[in-house]
């Protein structure tokens, strides 16, 4: 069985964040969602758990970072091709996120851009033609 990733993200407005992640291509799984959480499915193995701040606090004693001001993590997700990278970032921007908070990357064999969600979480969208040259 393949390992799965469940990325837990604290969000201020669950409905707004759910709509945002649907706009960038994730699907809400109602089986693991309620008024305090939305399970957003990117693939069979990649899920983002959007949690209200109260729900998120049930799992940690640490303060929730204001990711508009500090970097807490850089989340990277693969894309099928260069056009898929641009499409995901464009959808994020139109849905209320910010396009390219970090510089674009174009190394020929690898192309990447980033977006920031409404809560300041930064996602890198990366396409790679194959392994980097030796």
> pLDDT by residue (tens digit) across 24-51?
999 999 999 999 999 999 999 999 999 9
Is the domain spanning 71-134 CATH 3.10.180.10? The answer is: yes
Just give the CATH number of 1-61.
3.10.180.10
- Rounded to two decimals, the pTM is 0.91
Task: Say if residues 81 and 133 touch (Cβ distance below 8 Å).
Answer: no
Question: In whole angstroms, what is the distance from residue 111 CA to residue 69 CA?
Answer: 26
Task: Say if residues 90 and 99 touch (Cβ distance below 8 Å).
Answer: yes
4 confidence band (pLDDT: 50, 70, 90): very high
* pLDDT tens digit sequence for 72-123: 999 999 999 999 999 999 999 999 999 999 999 999 899 999 999 999 999 9
Domains of the chain, residue spans: 1-61, 71-134
């Amino acid at each position: 069985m393949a390992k799965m990733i469940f990325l837990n993200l604290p969000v201020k407005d669950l409905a707004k964040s759910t709509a945002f992640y649907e706009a960038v291509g994730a699907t809400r799984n109602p089986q693991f969602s309620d008024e305090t959480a939305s399970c957003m499915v990117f693939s069979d193995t990649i899920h983002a758990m959007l949690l209200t701040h109260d729900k998120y606090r049930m799992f940690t004693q640490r303060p929730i970072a204001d990711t508009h001001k500090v970097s807490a993590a850089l989340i990277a997700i693969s894309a099928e091709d260069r056009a898929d990278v641009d499409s995901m970032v464009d959808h994020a921007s139109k849905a209320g996120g910010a396009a390219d908070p970090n510089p674009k990357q174009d190394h020929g064999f690898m192309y990447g851009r980033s977006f920031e969600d409404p809560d300041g979480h930064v996602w890198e969208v990366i396409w790679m033609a194959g392994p980097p040259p030796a």
